[in-house]
Amino acid sequence: MSGPLEGKCIVIIGGTTGLGLSAARAVVAAGGRVVAVGRDPDNVAAAAAALGSSARVVVGDATDPATAPAAIATAASGFGGFHGLYHVAGGSGRRRGDGPLHELTDDGWDFTLDLNLKSVFHSARAAVRQFLAQGSGGSIVHCGSVLGSSPSPKFFATHAYATAKAGVVGLSRAAAARYAADGIRVNVLAPGLVATPMSKRAQDDEAILGFIRTKQPLDGGRIGVPEDLDAAVVWLLSDASRFVTGQVIAIDGGWEVSEGRWTEANDE
């Protein structure tokens, strides 16, 4: 029995660690082929070993406008086609000066938006151009965040990051509207707090973990794991979601519908 991505080649920008690597494994398991892009050569080598012959894994920086077109060209030439893009690359700008508005630095703003929004623009533009050239349609999935629409003022007050993730939604919905008639679908996944290298600060903070137990109350009140997103990624990239575009799907353990609480003891 063939999988839902049989015969499809998917480009994953940010596909060598965390959410992206987990998604790449899921795509391969669903019968697809992958071109995965990552910045760190060591992670690229490890991902290539993990994904096997169904994947091409290359070094590239998502903020470089040449990265996504090169990866898409690799899919088209090396695997005979390009059918979908998942952009998951991004990260925290906290160390560069992201934070609450009154503390947010110019460098923190520029760095965070380049990493989390401008990089998405580069990838989406490259994918749309290729789909239009092919006349084939296709699926684009962007990784957003619940912080783009559901702020956490105490523990996650990184306002450039929240702005970037809200911008991902705006760009995605505008593109979904413009290119629906061309068969190009654009959707967004909005995870809550997930255990990835980016979230290590939160994973090691007992006050945040206490908050998460009430903010993400599903399944015992835990931090998410990358595999929590995989089924949605495969579905959105497959023909099973062929009538879905312009949507933001929160995979957040209940974050957006839960109040979340902390105690004074958590502040000590």
Distance from chain centroid for Cα 117: 11
Query: Do residues 218 and 257 lie in contact, with contact meaning Cβ atoms separated by under 8 Å?
Result: no
Q: Which long-range contacts (CB under 8 A, 24 or more apart) does 30-34 make?
A: 30/3, 30/4, 30/5, 30/6, 30/234, 30/238, 31/2, 31/3, 31/4, 31/5, 31/6, 31/7, 32/3, 32/5, 32/6, 32/7, 32/8, 32/237, 33/8, 33/9, 33/75, 33/79, 34/9, 34/10
Query: Do residues 31 and 5 lie in contact, with contact meaning Cβ atoms separated by under 8 Å?
Result: yes
Which two structure tokens, joined as six digits, stand for 15? 């596909």
86 is catalytic: no
Residues 6 or more apart in contact with residue 129 via CB below 8 angstroms:
69
Catalytic residue among 161, 179, 235, 255: 161
- Give the catalytic positions in this structure: 161
